[in-house]
Structure 1
Amino acid sequence: MLEVEDLNLRLGNKHVLQHINFSIPLKGEIIGIMGPNGAGKSSLIKSLIGEFKATGRTQLRHKSTTSQLKQITYIPQKAHIDIDFPINVEEVIISGAYQDIGWFKWITPKVKAKLELLLEDLEISSLRKRQLSQLSGGQMQRVLIARALMSDSALYLLDEPFVGIDFLSEQLIIKKIRQLKLENKLVLIVHHDFSKAGDYFDRIMLLNKRLRYFGPSDKATDPEILNDIFLNQAG
């Protein structure tokens, strides 16, 4: 179970997240985190992993989320990736397995097989020796998804994975995310495009500083609900 109780986050003078409460079973489910700009979507993800110091209680399997980071995979927005770092695609992807195998151990046949499968499924085999600076936005995001999937986590947190990428990359990535659901993983995705919400997500959290709605994706786009999210500000 992922449990959040009375989570509050202040950044400077801003009360970014206010009294957030929810609990989600650790089963196969894809949940969208949506809302207006500045609503606290990315801040919620960062609070779960301890990057932002929120108050309240956040637990994974009845232990603090910050003590369970080996069970959590986080994929930040592409803007936070240093593309000039001298490392190639294959090395980036393999680095995703280091929390399981350790930094100074030989790559096992199992890890090698997983690498080859991800390269094939995400159609980046031909890019394996390229430097990050040589990739398009969509190619980069596929590499970051492959890196994340090298580790076996209970919870996957993705921050705007579809921003600025091509149609093929988006389709390949959502296919892999759906495979995580079939493997009984919980996936939370910060997303902004309501036109695809019903296709991508089982349930949706609508945030505007407070959690305004958490339920089936086909109900999240009701005009009455969206008006509450986008027109009313949390006090």
Structure 2
Amino acid sequence: MQHPFKTGTPGAPVLAELQEAAMTNPTAAMLIIGDEILSGRTRDANMHHLAKALTSHGIDLEEVRVVADVPDAITEAVKALAARYTHVFTSGGIGPTHDDITADNVARAFDRPIDVRDDARAILAAHYDRQGIELNEARLRMARIPEGATLIENPISAAPGFSLENVHVMAGVPAIFEAMVAGVLPTLTGGAPILSQSLQLLRGEGDIAATLGQIAEEFPELSFGSYPFQLNGAFGTNVVVRGSDAARLDAAMAALDRAFPA
């Protein structure tokens, strides 16, 4: 089987990390929603956290999209990703302000009505009562849940996320997002956790590409990535091997050691 190449940094070929024939785990995509991400005002931290959590759970994160606070962009992205992947995780746009439009447009993607739901209202009412804060109309927006959705607990600020079909809608604030991910993941069926090992070579990618490609062909169930670096004026490459079979991973690393002795 010929292994395809992809570009990681300009001019640097990177061996494809996912081999279609070896994909057995559930798959996932992430949809990050918010003008503040696209403008550079806010640096996203949620993708990194989700990728690590899903890897440990045996769910392969295969795509991440970022869209603005535009209704059609959100709806179209939800439809496309939900049709392609086992799970979709969204981040952002479920707060109390006018530009928090994620819930409405996820509902629209599935043609579901959305309104304030009694259980979500009760959660918010109890939270704000404890703080002596009014549950006003703006805050009540966070209790609007699409019909048929399951609530995702928010142990930090109470306002729930929700799961609708295979889409899990979560807050953008990193601490809340992480708490929601921790609550959702145990309810999802995962596959084999992805393991990884790496080898640092003080050789440029061009010097190792042919041999690395041959070794990758010997282990089609594993993914091989090559990531160039520069150290003290010399070029080097970090080779990362990933897969769910520990024994095959060890065998691949042994093959790399033989091919590229220190």
Compute the TM-score of the two structures, normalised by the length of structure 1. 0.37
Compute the TM-score of the two structures, normalised by the length of structure 2. 0.34
